[in-house]
């Protein structure tokens, strides 16, 4: 009997096929694991779950923040720094360019036109004088600050004189005086200009100034709009007497080497942050680099009253006249004090007179003029040494108000005595 059976499979090729399939699967698995690992690495790193990547990412983020902060500090250094070394600043021309760009659109030319009449009786306006001013935001109200002497004619005779303000782009608008102070040579104007034209400057306390600080004057000398000059604060605490002050001194005036010319009056004196620290007001004829500015503290103290009432009536007054003591005067008087203020005259009925302060008793010729000697010599106020008349006037303006009682230490008859004096209010000007 013939028996048949199914042949057994050939083991060789079949086994090779299985092994090949398994290798492919293993290879695919390895590739998948590698791919998944790479993708997982980046994915986990991106979402912060991969510890090492997250740590590196945090460090990179912190570095980026520090770089950003440093960039911000460098960008705002000139604007926010308390002080900048002069030698570095003077070499950095871009610093001045930045300040000029920040300030120039806020500075205006103030023109005073006088109404005149032709031979045939026709009226017309002719340019009479001009100066400078700058825009300031006073409690949401945009005003223009300038010197009183710039707009004096228009204030005194508004029927014949008209005020206008001209911006850096040449556009000109009518303006009117809101208030003024003859004694501080300040005036505040309102301009009939569009709101977007009125770009205010920041006013900073002039108490931040030191001798040697760099300051910049921007104004319109000789009508040349937008002119800039640079200098330093050459002195502080000066007093200045102008024609319209009636003999009273403007205290705490800033002395600067920034070149000033006619037409600069009323313009801002700014620091290296672009903030107003003064308002340029006067020059000394034939001087080399000697100009003066009203301190910003005076503006900040008075502007509220000038806008709301049109006047400022808070100037302290003692009713005395005097000269600085020195060695020759001391020798003539037979005293050993060479500093302080020699009182030459006391106003009858004034605060000093009521307190018993004594004025000069005899006239002597000294240094090309006659002065009254023999009066009290003020050597201290409230325990603070009085070096000269500038110091006394500045102290009174800065630290006293009408109605306040101060203690004057005076030298009388060779001995020092204390005399209480109640400060009065300075009489208003007649103009």
Catalytic site residue 394? no
What is the mean predicted confidence (pLDDT) over 169-191?
94
Backbone angles phi, psi at 419, to 5 degrees: -130, 120
Lowest-confidence segment of 5-9, 338-342, 359-363 by average pLDDT: 5-9
Which pLDDT does position 2 carry in this prediction? Answer: 35
Q: What is the CATH number of domain 107-197?
A: 2.40.10.10
Which ranges in the chain are annotated with CATH 2.40.10.10?
A: 107-197, 206-295
**Residues of each domain in the chain carrying CATH 2.30.42.10:** 316-425
The catalytic position among 106, 132, 227, 265 is 265
124 strand-pairing partners: 116
Please check the confidence at residue 89 and state whether its pLDDT lies above 80. Answer: no
Give the mean pLDDT of 262-291: 84
Q: Would you say 350 and 316 are in contact if contact means Cβ atoms under 8 Å apart?
A: no
pLDDT at 8 over 50: no
**Parallel, antiparallel, or unpaired for β 186-191 and 141-146?**
antiparallel
- pLDDT per residue as tens digits for the range 48-67: 444 454 565 566 556 655 64
Q: What is the pLDDT of residue 55?
A: 62
Q: Nearest Cα to 408, choosing from 394, 390, 397, 396?
A: 396
- Residue-wise pLDDT for 300-329, tens only, equals 999 999 999 999 989 999 999 999 999 999
What per-residue confidence (pLDDT) applies to 17?
39
4 has pLDDT over 70: no
From 106, 132, 149, 227, the catalytic residue: 149
Percent of the chain with pLDDT over 70: 76
| Mean pLDDT of the chain, nearest integer | 81
Give the CATH H-level superfamily of domain 316-425.
Answer: PDZ domain (2.30.42.10)
Our answer to whether residue 138 is catalytic in this structure is no
- Given the residues 181, 184, 185, 376, the one annotated as active site: 185
Which CATH number does the domain 206-295 belong to among 2.40.10.10, 2.60.40.10, 3.30.70.2740, 1.20.59.10? 2.40.10.10
State yes or no: is 315 an active-site residue. Answer: no
What is residue 109's predicted lDDT score, i.e. its pLDDT?
A: 94
With a cut of 80, say whether residue 333 has pLDDT above it: yes
Nearest alpha carbon to residue 232 among 398, 109, 100, 83: 83
Q: Percentages helix, strand, coil for the chain, rounded to the nearest 5?
A: 35, 35, 30
Instruction: Summarize the confidence of residues 85-93 as an average pLDDT.
Output: 46
Is residue 106 within 8 A of residue 169, CB to CB? The reply is: no
Question: Per the structure block, which two tokens stand in for 409?
Answer: 């230490």
């Amino acid at each position: 009997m013939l028996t048949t059976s199914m042949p057994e499979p050939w083991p060789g090729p079949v086994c090779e096929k299985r092994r090949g399939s398994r290798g492919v699967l293993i290879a695919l698995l390895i590739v998948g694991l590698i791919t998944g690992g790479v993708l997982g690495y980046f994915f986990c790193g991106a979402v912060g779950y991969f510890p090492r990547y997250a740590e590196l990412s945090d460090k990179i983020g912190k570095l980026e923040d520090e770089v950003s902060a440093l960039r911000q500090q460098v960008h705002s250094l000139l604007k926010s720094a308390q002080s900048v070394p002069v030698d570095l600043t003077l070499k950095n021309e871009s610093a001045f360019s930045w300040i000029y760009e920040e300030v120039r659109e806020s500075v205006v030319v103030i023109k005073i036109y006088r109404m005149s009449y032709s031979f045939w009786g026709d009226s017309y306006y002719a340019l009479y004088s001009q100066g400078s001013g700058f825009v300031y935001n006073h409690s949401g109200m945009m005003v223009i600050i300038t010197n009183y002497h710039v707009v004096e004619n228009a204030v005194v005779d508004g029927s014949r004189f008209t005020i206008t303000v001209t911006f850096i782009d040449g556009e000109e608008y009518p303006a009117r005086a809101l208030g003024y102070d003859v004694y501080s040579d300040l005036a505040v104007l309102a301009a009939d200009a569009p709101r977007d034209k009125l770009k205010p400057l920041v006013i900073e306390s002039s108490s931040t100034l030191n001798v040697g600080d760099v300051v910049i004057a921007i104004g319109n000398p000789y009508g040349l709009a937008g002119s800039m000059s640079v200098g330093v604060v050459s002195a502080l605490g000066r007093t200045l007497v102008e024609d319209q002050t009636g003999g009273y001194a403007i205290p705490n005036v800033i002395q600067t080497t920034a070149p000033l010319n006619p037409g600069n009056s009323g313009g801002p004196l700014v620091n290296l942050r672009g903030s107003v620290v003064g308002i340029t007001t006067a020059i000394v004829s034939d001087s080399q680099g000697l100009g003066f500015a009203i301190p910003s503290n005076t503006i900040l103290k008075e502007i509220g009253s000038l806008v709301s009432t049109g006047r400022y009536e808070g100037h302290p007054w003692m009713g005395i006249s005097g000269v600085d003591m020195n060695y020759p005067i001391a020798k003539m008087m037979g005293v050993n004090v060479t500093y302080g203020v020699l009182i030459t005259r006391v106003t009858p009925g004034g605060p000093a007179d009521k307190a018993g302060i004594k004025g000069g008793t005899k006239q002597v010729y000294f240094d090309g003029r006659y002065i009254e000697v023999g009066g009290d010599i003020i050597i201290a106020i409230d325990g603070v040494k009085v070096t000269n008349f500038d110091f006394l006037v500045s102290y009174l303006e800065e630290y006293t108000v009408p109605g306040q009682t101060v203690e004057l230490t005076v030298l009388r008859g060779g001995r020092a005595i204390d005399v209480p004096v109640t400060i009065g209010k300075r009489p208003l000007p007649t103009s």
